[in-house]
Structure formats: C-alpha cells, structure tokens
Structure 1
Amino acid sequence: MSSRIPIAEAFDQLLVGTVPVRITAYDGSAAGAEDAAFAIHVRNERGLSYLMTAPGDLGLGRAYVSGDLEVSGVHPGDPYPALREIKSGLKFRRPGAAEALALVRGLGLEHLKPPVPPAQEHLPRWRRAVEGLRHSQQRDAEVIHHHYDVSNRFYELVLGPSMTYTCAVFPSEDATLEEAQANKYDLIARKLDLQQGQRLLDVGCGWGGMVRHAAREYGVRALGVTLSREQATWAQQRIKEEGLDHLAEVRHLDYRNVEERDFDAVSSIGLTEHIGVKNYPAYFGFLRDRLKPHGRLLNHCITRPHNKKEDTGAFIDRYVFPDGELTGSGRIITEAQDVGLEVQHEENFRVHYAKTLAGWCHNLVENWDECVAEVGEATARVWGLYMAGSRLSFERNEIQLHHVLATRTDADGVSGYPLRHTFGI
C-alpha cells in the first residue's frame, strides 16, 4: 500500500515558482509562506474529493460554495483581492501520467468518488439536453428561472435601489453606482434618440429599469418583456407605484412571442448572452422586424476580446449562467449587418463593468447577514465568487461589454440618422 502524501505538499508539487498564498489542509499539512496575505484551507475529505474529481474552476467552486474550501484574508462576499493574487501568481504544471497516478494514490483513491454537488449547481449541458434543445423556449425559461428567480429581496440588497443587473456607465471615476446606472439608461435613451410619444420595446428587460426610465424621463410608451416571472411581477408593481402604468408595461413573455411591430426603438440590455451564437441571425432578424423604417436598435452585451464562439467556463455554466455563450463585437456587428441593419456606432465599456461588479460586491459585503438569511450562505458564496471573478476578467481584458447601435435603413438607403452622433458621452 502506498504511503500517504500530505495534501498541501501535493499541491506544492504541481505549482510552478513561488506560491503566492498559504495552502493548508485538514491533515495538518501546509505549503507556502507563513506570512502570505491570503490562505487557502481544505477543510475536509469532501473538499479534497471535489478538487480531485473536477480539476479546475468547477471543483474549486464546488468546494468553496459548500464551505469545504476556505479562503482567509477576504470576505466571502468579495474574494476579489485573493482571486487577483491567485490569478496573477498561482501557476500549475501538467504532471506526466506516472506522476499523476502516484499523486492520486498518495492522496487516496477513495477521493475519486465524486461527492454530490452543492444544491446550487445546475445540470451539466448534456443533461439539460434531455429537457429540451439548447436555447429552445422551454430550456431558456428554465435556465433564466435558475438565475433570476432567486429572490427579489436578495437582488435589492446586492444591486441597490436601481435594481439594475447590467453594466453601469460611470460619468466620472467617483460617481456612485446609482448615478452610473441612471447615466447608463440615459445614454441608451439618447443613443436611441427617444422622443415623447414614441414606442420602445425592451427585450430581456429585467426589473424594468429601462422601461421606467424611458417612460418617466422621455414620455415614451415602453413595453418590456422578460422570461423571469419574479422580475415581471416586481417591475409591474414598481411601474404602478411610480404612476407610469399609462406609459409602461412589463410582461412575463419570451421576446420571440412579441407580436407588436412598428416600434421606434428596440433596446436589448444583457439578453444576447443568453441567445446562443448560432441563433444570432434569427435574433437580429426578429428585432429588425419589430422596428419601423428609420427605427434604432441598441444592443448591449458582454463580449469576448475575439470573435470565436466560446462557451463559458464550467463554474459559470453550472452556477450562474447556464447555456451562456459569448463572442466578440465583430461577430455581433456582422450578424446585425447580415440581416440588413445598418450599424452606426459601437463602444466598449469593459472597465465600467469592472467598476459595476466592485459596487455589487460592496453591497453584498455590507448586507451579508441579510443576504445569507434570504438565500442561504452557499448561494451568497456563489455570488461573491462569480462577481469578484468576473470583475477580474473584465480588468484583465478577458471579457468586454459592447454597445452596438444600428438602424433599420429603408429600401431607398435612408436611415434617419444625423450627419454626426448627437448623444454625446
């Protein structure tokens, strides 16, 4: 029988260079500098099994969400400082087959039996396929429910009064999150050149922030649709409270089932990530057909810094955005053009999303006890981990956020667009 290998020593053998964090485990082993700012502690055998049966971000996520992996030196609502240190300095090498087998035997073959995943984990992609084709209306409704119908109160605590779960646009470095969210909605309204009496369709409208802003500030008749029943209920109540129900409406409805046409403007703020790249032609074609000639479309979505189709990572796919797909702004523009839309302007807001996520993590930390009471500590840990990790990805230019503004130009080539942009900064 092979002798046991100390857990921290096994990790140390797989690391390249100086270990930037302290690594400890339930067997009493340790590696890395004792005075490191952050420490990773494997608390129990289940945590080790998670790490061994799903190497990479999924295993780490499972162990962290379940509380079997602890990170000291940071708050669980915002582990960003530790993630930044780990991402910058923690480098693993790939062992050869013989070495890998020796390590597994030394850590214990019994740890190769996968533990039951945390309850917050969604089904893998192959299991979801049993429930419906990817991006079918049935399957989209299920994955949206998984993420957005957590708890409206939880979202209020994390997102703040704006109840806006999309990238803010900061008018200055010291602007508050609420100021930046209001600025984002107004920038979109100006890009769409909204005028009193016009009609706006907002697809994937969330809690109705854009719908209410357009109705309140511009006198626009606005219709929003969302696949989340919880969002629609909250939005309709807020619309009534603000006295906007003569202008604004939010429906619990798949955008593909909107029958109305001849809108002056369409906004899509954070929906394209859920569409699926292969469905872009149908998506942009549908939105084009909802516009009247000279109407404008503003598409706001997370993108890659390249134009290849690429699925999200395993942790994000299982815990945050099931079936999410991202590609580059070039692909977005190409698909919009290929259905006959004329692209007038594009803009990258990735640094704004990093600041937005920092604001949401701050809110989660400030309201941690109430958030945990509302959804449980495991779910709150999912949010802290994913938002802090996403912030780091935006900062490192691994993902971006783009606005693409387009018009439905008529058959004579008239777009209704001015000689120069009029929406300012």
Structure 2
Amino acid sequence: MTQSTTARKLSIAEAFDSLMREPLPLRITAYDGSGAGPEDAPYRFHIASERGLSYLMSSPDPDLAMARAYVSGDLQLFGTHPGDPYEALVVLKDGIKFRRPSPSELVTLVRSLGVSHLVPPTPPAEEAPSRVRRIFEGFRHSLTRDAEAIHHHYDVSNRFYEMVLGPSMTYTCAVFPHETATLEEAQTTKYDLVARKLDLKPGQRLLDLGCGWGGMVRHAAKEYGVKALGVTLSQQQAEWAQEEIKRQGLDDLAEVRHLDYRLVEEGDFDAVSSIGLTEHIGVRNYPSYFTFIKDKLKPEARLLNHCITRASSHQSHKPGEFIDRYVFPDGELAAPGRLVSAVHDVGLEVHDVENLRLHYARTLAGWCANLEANWDACVAEVGENTCRVWGLYMAASRLSFERNEIQLHHILAARLGDDGGNGFPLRPTW
C-alpha cells in the first residue's frame, strides 16, 4: 500500500488488492462499482452486498469468511459453474498470496471499508454451531452428539444424494480399475476389492459399520452370498437402504439398521468392514473403536478399515472451520501411522496398508460433474445455498487429495486365533 493510498479512502476492490503480495490472478469487483485485477481474467469474484463484505471482514478464519459469503450468495463467482468451482479454486490456491499489513495500513483499510463491517452478521442457516456451542448437544462423540453431527450432513435428502452420487448411492472413495472407468464401475470395483481383501465366502457373516445406503451390504449379499448387517446413524440412509434391499430381493441375506455401531449386540462375525466411519469417531476413541471391532470378530476373521487420513502426523486432527461448520461437524483425521498403531495395539494383526489418494480425487470430480449436470433439480430439492456448500466442499477436497494434503487408506487386519493363526495364505490373493 503506497503513501498515496493510505492518505485517502480506498474502494472495496482497492482494499482487497492492497493486501496481495503479488498481482491478482483474477478479477475482483464489488457493489460499490469498484474493480481490481485483470479485466480479461477467466474468473471474477463479486462482493455483492454489505453483508458479504461483513462476512469477509468479521471472521478471523479466511476460509470460513469466504465460505459464509459464498454460501449465502453475497460473494459471487463468475467464469465457472457453482457445482464444480475446481478450476477457480486452483487459481485461488496458486495465485492468492496475502501479506500482513502494518498497523497504519489496517487503520486505513478499516476506515475505508467501515468499522460496522467488523460486526459478524448471522451465519447462513446451513452452518452448524461452533465447537464450543456444540457442547450443549452433548460431549464430543457421545451418542447424542454423534447422531446430531451425522444428521447435519447425511439427512439432507435421499433424492439429492441420488443425483450427486449416482445409481450406486455410494458416498466413499471409489477405486478406478483403469483410466476410462466410469464412476459406477469404480464404485463396484471398490466394493469388490473390499470383499476380496476380506476373503468373503458364501454363508459367512459380515458387519458393515457406518454402512451409508447399504452398498457394501448389498454387494456382499448379492455377489458373495454373505449374510450382511449394516448400521448407520442416518435414518434416511437406513430407510432408503432397506427399501433397496427389498427391491433387489436380498431380504434373506442383507439388513440395514438405524443404529449406533456401539449398540450392535451380535458377535462372531467372519468379517467387519468400516468404510468412511473412522473419520467421525474421534481420534481419542480409536482404542475403544478397534477393541469393539476385535470383540465382534471370530478368531482368524478380518477387518478392512477404509478412511481419509492426514498426509503428515504433524497436522492437526481437527478439520478447518469450513469443513467443521458446513460439512463434517466433529470430524477428525489422523495420519495412517496413528491408525495402524491403534489397530495393532488392540491386538489385531495388520497385514496390508494401501493408499488410494488419487482415486478419491477422481471420485470427487465425478460427484461434482453430477452436481453440475443436475444443478437445477438439486437446487429445487435442497436449496441453492446447500448446493453451493456441496460444490465448494467437493471441489476443494478434490484439490486437497491431488496436492497430497489428505489421503485415503485401506488397513487390512485380522484377529489372531489362540494358537497365533491369522487365516491368511502365504501371499495375498486379492
């Protein structure tokens, strides 16, 4: 910021431009008629209202500030579709580099933009309470609070999920067998990989924890003749899954219950799959979670744990404010070594660890494409604000997987028999 700009009030666009260490790679415009950045830039952010400016100025967390303004429609993005803003996010991540202004520059900025804009507006209705306020819903990862967290994200609308996820109704990382595989082919491949790693056989019993809409349960029953029980904290998921089980005539083998996994009473399972649940249970609960699983397994039976992981053990377990408030309240991630240690330390023998990071980036690209293709119908189903949350979250997550900021790991383990047997052949068969 030069002496000439500190001596006068700045327009909104000038104020934001003054905070950049390098020239803007995109165009910024605002409701006061101001603009900054190249006029021919492929992407343009428009601050459409005073409320949007207040969102941007009042939150100490930049990601949460931008998310609030974007979700509410007060920060508009032009040049890309809201169902898949991936390309614009790449430009933002690579090209927006803020600098720390001096105290005198801060005074000029606040005077120019208005002290009143430092007062936080009411957050969008789609935002969950902060971590501090959620204590009133119960202690973190209590039965009550976990149920509310799952309800916030998963009980949006089954019809919405059908349009975004596609026919598989699978909301976890797919496994792409080749470069041209479709999303549906990749989800089937994922379920079959899990089944083969678990060495499922006709007549066995499978427990699927956090089963979602029952994809793994149905695959195990239909393709492997396994008697499969799935549990989910989402009532909408359980209802949809049971209807689909009946529609496919799998009632004699498959069942999905609306139930916290901690309340499952049956035991002596031949296999347990946990696909996308570990992210929700809390890192401090790993020992009790994997002990629970061990106690549900027969001797020489297998566990396949599939979950998002941190790329480094030095990263915080807690997600950023945007993910915590808008996507996965109370979600936590750990590095793969922490998970392997937790599985190992309860007495399960770890046999295989596989990183599927880039497969999740492809999966998210497919979901964004579905949201973009079905945008009008999705907006009619759940509202434009919710659709913007999903487009932003999925595109940003895709970028995080591509840049190795987060990963996706399979951990395959077994409960040992009394004689030390593990049921595995000398070499892997999957």
The answer, yes or no, to whether TM exceeds 0.5 is yes
Q: Deviations over 1:237-265 (max 9, x none)?
A: 00000000100000000000001111000
Matched, 1:162 2:156: no
Q: How far does residue 184 in structure 1 lie from its aligned partner after superposition?
A: 0.2
Q: Secondary structure at 1:154's aligned position in 2?
A: helix
Instruction: Work out whether 1:63 is the aligned partner of 2:66.
Output: no
Q: Which residue of 2 aligns with 1:105?
A: 111
Match of 1:421 among 415, 422, 428: 428
Query: Partner residue of 2:56?
Result: 51
8 Å CA contact 1:203–1:255 kept in 2: the answer is: yes
Cα offset, 1:162, TM superposition = 0.1
Deviations 1:34-56 (A, max 9, x none): 11111111011000000001141
User: 1:421, 1:28 → 2: CA distance?
Assistant: 64
Residue in 2 that maps onto 1:390: 397
Whether contact under 8 Å (1:164, 1:181) holds in the other structure is yes
Q: Secondary structure at the match of 1:310?
A: coil
Deviation at 1:3, TM superposition (A): 5.4
2:9 maps to: 4
Give the counterpart of 1:271 among 258, 277, 294.
277
| Structure 1, unaligned runs of 5 or more | none
Say if 2:283 and 2:317, in contact at 8 Å, map to a contact too. Answer: no
1:249 matches 2:236: no
Deviation at 1:93, TM superposition (A): 1.3
Equivalent-residue separation in structure 1 for 2:178 and 2:83 (angstroms): 25
Q: Which amino acid aligns with 2:349?
A: E
> In the alignment, which of 83, 91, 95 is matched to residue 101 of structure 2?
95
Alignment deviations for residues 158-197 of structure 1 (CA, whole Å, 9 cap, x no partner): 0000000000000001100000000000000000000000
- State the Cα deviation string for residues 302-324 of structure 1 (Å, max 9, x = none): 00111244210101100000001
Counterparts of 1:149 and 1:38 in 2: how far apart (Å)?
33
| Contact preservation (8 Å) 2:274, 2:305 | yes
Question: Is residue 351–residue 414 contact of structure 2 (8 Å, CA) maintained in 1?
Answer: yes
- Stretches of structure 2 that go unaligned for 5 or more consecutive residues are 1-6
Aligned counterparts, 1:103-182, within 5 A: 103-182=109-188
CA distance in 2, matches of 1:371, 1:15: 36
Which digits, 9 at most, give the CA deviation of each residue in 1:210-235, with x for residues without a partner? 00000000000000000000000000
Structure 2 residue aligned with 1:285: 291
Candidates 215, 225, 230, aligned match of 1:219: 225
Tell me, yes or no, if the aligned pair for 2:43 and 2:80 is still in contact at 8 Å: yes
1:103-159 superposed Cα distances (whole Å, 9 cap, x missing partner): 122210010111111110000000001220000010000010000000000000000
Aligned counterpart in structure 1 of residue 367 of structure 2, from 351, 360, 363:
360
2:207 is the counterpart of 1:209: no
- 1:331 and 2:338 correspond: yes
Residue aligned with 1:420, SS: coil
For 1:25, the aligned partner's letter is A
- Which letter does structure 2 place at the counterpart of 1:47? G
Q: Which TM-score applies when normalising by structure 1?
A: 0.98
Offset at residue 29 of structure 1 (A):
1.2
Q: Please tell me whether residue 343 in structure 1 is matched to residue 350 in structure 2.
A: yes
Letter in 2 for 1:46: R
Number of equivalenced pairs: 422
Letter in 2 for 1:144: I
- How far the C-alpha of 1:102 sits from its partner, in A, is 2.6
After TM superposition, give the deviation of residue 407 of structure 1 in Å: 0.4
Identity, in percent, stands at 69
Q: 1:405 aligns with which of 408, 412, 417?
A: 412
Select which of 6, 13, 16 maps to 2:18.
13
CA shift, 1:65, in A, is 0.5
- Between the aligned partners of 2:160 and 2:166, the Cα distance in structure 1 is 10
Alpha-carbon distance in structure 1 between the residues aligned to 2:104 and 2:257: 58
Preserved CA contact (<8 Å) 2:9 2:108: no
Q: CA deviation at 1:96?
A: 2.9
Aligned counterpart in structure 2 of residue 36 of structure 1, from 41, 48, 70: 41
Structure 2 residue corresponding to 1:23, chosen from 4, 24, 28 = 28
